Structure 1
Amino acid sequence: MPNAHGIIPRTLRPGIYAPIPSFFLEHSEELDLQAFEKHVALTATAGVGQVLAGSMSEAIHLTRSERVALIKAARRTLDTAGLTDRPIIAGIGAGSTRETIELAHEAAEAGADYGIAIISGYFAGAIAGNKKALKAYWKEVSEKSAIPVLVYNYPGASGGINLDSDIITELAKECPNLVGVKLTCGDVGKLTRIAAVVSDPSFTSLYPRKHANAPFLVLGGYTDFILPTAMVNGHGAITGLANVAPNAVVKLFKLCEESCANPSLLSEAQRLQGIIAQADATIAKASIAGTKALLERLYGYGGKPRRPLPPIETSVAQALWDHPHTQDLVRLEQELSKI
């Protein structure tokens, strides 16, 4: 059923989603939409979902018109590839609740199916310990958004604000237009507690979502705990590593899901989880610039972050590429991409 704005979001499914980087032309720092569209196609073909204008996308460095341009380009690319049923999740977090809601409306008009909202850390000193204020942000955003919304919990990008499992499960129960959470806090215990509530068979009937095709998903923010996530009835991950090795991360997710029903697959899932977890920890230390350097090496595009975020030093980029954890991941990705 369409919502009050006439929008029917595409189905939101468990799986692997990549926060797609924003690519910039070297001298002008204008958006490089050609590279962006290539990367959307590459990740989508591997079975990875697209999250735009988030932390990896350098959303803080994007204008509102650039956010719209990226959403439109991604939708065009997916449709051209015949992936018309693939949803787009767009970052809508801003300094104020008011602007977050405005960004949600703009994202919807541009073609996004879902928004993902992080709370600003600018006034973290006044907000971090105020449960009422924290809940009020996502309540109002989800109530007034033209599209369903995911909670984005990332202390590193929000001045240390770190939602606990009680706040998140309360929001899930009280806000029918909230459809998930991304936990870039890396807290597996928190993920387990939230999944125990929202993945219980009774949750859907007691707390139905606004859209039946948009259940509440519990998603990790890294690839190093995809196996534990599956074992506690979580739903996958939104992870930067899926930009570098989309086939490997999707394979791991599928194998972990299958392992829940077929324990004979568990040892292989553990093997892949080990390779991917090691690579995730190594590559994450190099941040956005490191990921872009690896994309340049692997796929021929990547470039530099937008200033003032510094580029990776040439020697550091080479060391990242040569690192055994990176090379193990590259070999795995190359093997799987040939299957």
Structure 2
Amino acid sequence: MPINGNGTHRPVSRPLAPGIYAPIPSFFLPESEDLDIPSFEAQVIRLANAGVGPLLAGSMGEAIHLSHEERFVLIKAARQALDNAGFDHVPIMAGTGAGSTRETVELCKEAAEAGADYAIAIASGYFAGTLAGNRKALKEFWTEISAKSPIPILIYNYPGASGGIDLDSDLITELAINSPNLAGVKLTCGNVGKLTRICATVSDISFTQRCPRKNPDAPFLVFGGFADFILSSTYANGHGAIIGLANVAPHAAVKLFQISQQTLKDRSLLPEAQRLQGILARGDFTIAKTSISGTKYLLEKLYGYGGRPRRPLPPIEVNEAEALWAHPHVQDLVKLEKESGGQFIGS
């Protein structure tokens, strides 16, 4: 984020646009578990070349295993790498979820200072027994952090990582209407009906007029959290997806998004979009079963870097890794990625 001479942040200069974004893994050195910055930078640039935007320190990035300082280092490294490679126009999203509202706000400020353009925040699941049924508390959480953050905020709705806390479409829509510094939502709940209901309000042309954003470069966008429904969300006026699968097959994911958009004007492309959607959906489903360690294994296999998660997360077992690589859903995905322009080590 550019900084004026008085130390204050300028308005967002990198608009948040519909498309495909990837939660970038954090890579670690084998023995020390210190950050492996060269591998991280390589991944950020490889995805940018494919047209995929970065989300740093999210679930895939093992944010819960990172210190404040490490998050700051990753954001700065990504910004510098992107700028040096000619991608100074590419925005950076940064995960700022924490245990308390107070710390989340602190992380938003630190992310902005490091160079992030947007933040994405999840409600902590530690006290989910209290929070899950308390709409007022959940609404106040995102209302407060969006009001105090120097950069626009996205809501991260992921019940699997927040103790089962699952925001419904009414609450998300209320937040979008009443909090002008909210720039969107990532639905890793996988609920297509929820996406459709939210888009019915926020994707209507009248929404921008009735509920203008604090920054016009940061509209309220609705992203899926899985590759399963990129095509169907296009017809609900959704805005793409933020998906771990894009780490493994970025060109294929972007191709599906682009062809899905084209089908709105040329229905003859629909069969091809459906074919691509099937390959990505099956691949996403199969790889997701192996979590972060499976994705890192595939990155190592295809691109020469990956490594293991930080302890206590275990690496993928050898037999499980071999089965993952041999799985027809993964092989179909790898084939599609190569056909779509992807380059692998040794290819």
| TM-score of the alignment, normalized to the shorter chain, above 0.5 | yes
SS of the aligned residue for 2:120 comes to strand
Is residue 171 of structure 1 aligned with residue 175 of structure 2? yes
Quote the residue 2:11 is aligned against: 8
Among 107, 111, 122, the alignment partner of 1:107 is: 111
Tell me the distance in 2 between the aligned counterparts of 1:259 and 1:25. 44
Tell me the distance in 2 between the aligned counterparts of 1:180 and 1:260. 23
Quote the residue 2:218 is aligned against: 214
Which letter maps to 2:24? I
Quote the residue 1:205 is aligned against: 209
Which letter maps to 1:68? F
Deviations 1:67-101 (A, max 9, x none): 00000010011101101111000000100000000
Quote the residue 2:258 is aligned against: 254
Quote the residue 2:332 is aligned against: 328
- Whether the 8 Å contact between 1:5 and 1:146 is mirrored in structure 2 is no
Tell me the distance in 2 between the aligned counterparts of 1:69 and 1:317. 31
Which letter maps to 2:140? A
Quote the residue 1:139 is aligned against: 143
| TM-score normalized with structure 1 length | 0.98
Quote the residue 1:238 is aligned against: 242
Tell me the distance in 1 between the aligned counterparts of 2:299 and 2:199. 33
Is residue 269 of structure 1 aligned with residue 273 of structure 2? yes
CA RMSD of aligned residues (A): 1.3
Which letter maps to 2:321? A
Which letter maps to 1:173? I
- Whether the 8 Å contact between 2:249 and 2:342 is mirrored in structure 1 is no
Quote the residue 1:120 is aligned against: 124
- Whether the 8 Å contact between 1:320 and 1:326 is mirrored in structure 2 is yes
- Whether the 8 Å contact between 1:259 and 1:265 is mirrored in structure 2 is yes
Quote the residue 1:92 is aligned against: 96
Query: Displacement of 1:261 after TM fit?
Result: 1.5
Tell me the distance in 1 between the aligned counterparts of 2:62 and 2:301. 20
Quote the residue 2:48 is aligned against: 44
Long gaps (5+) in structure 2 = none
SS of the aligned residue for 2:141 comes to helix
Tell me the distance in 2 between the aligned counterparts of 1:338 and 1:251. 11
- Whether the 8 Å contact between 1:7 and 1:146 is mirrored in structure 2 is no
- Whether the 8 Å contact between 1:7 and 1:147 is mirrored in structure 2 is no
Quote the residue 1:69 is aligned against: 73
Tell me the distance in 1 between the aligned counterparts of 2:226 and 2:125. 21
- Whether the 8 Å contact between 2:287 and 2:330 is mirrored in structure 1 is yes
Tell me the distance in 1 between the aligned counterparts of 2:119 and 2:341. 30
Deviations 1:43-89 (A, max 9, x none): 01000000000000000000110000000010011101101111000
| TM-score normalized with structure 2 length | 0.96
SS of the aligned residue for 1:161 comes to coil
SS of the aligned residue for 1:72 comes to helix
Quote the residue 2:158 is aligned against: 154
Deviations 1:160-182 (A, max 9, x none): 00000000000000000000000
SS of the aligned residue for 2:340 comes to helix
Quote the residue 1:21 is aligned against: 25
SS of the aligned residue for 1:260 comes to coil
Tell me the distance in 2 between the aligned counterparts of 1:323 and 1:73. 35
Query: Displacement of 1:5 after TM fit?
Result: 4.2
Is residue 56 of structure 1 aligned with residue 50 of structure 2? no
Long gaps (5+) in structure 1 = none
Tell me the distance in 1 between the aligned counterparts of 2:216 and 2:32. 44
Which letter maps to 2:88? T
Quote the residue 2:87 is aligned against: 83
Tell me the distance in 1 between the aligned counterparts of 2:84 and 2:220. 29
Quote the residue 1:186 is aligned against: 190
Give the share of equivalent positions with the same residue, in percent. 67
Which letter maps to 1:247? H
- Whether the 8 Å contact between 2:251 and 2:342 is mirrored in structure 1 is no
Tell me the distance in 2 between the aligned counterparts of 1:185 and 1:59. 19
Query: Displacement of 1:7 after TM fit?
Result: 2.6
Tell me the distance in 2 between the aligned counterparts of 1:202 and 1:7. 28
Tell me the distance in 1 between the aligned counterparts of 2:266 and 2:309. 43
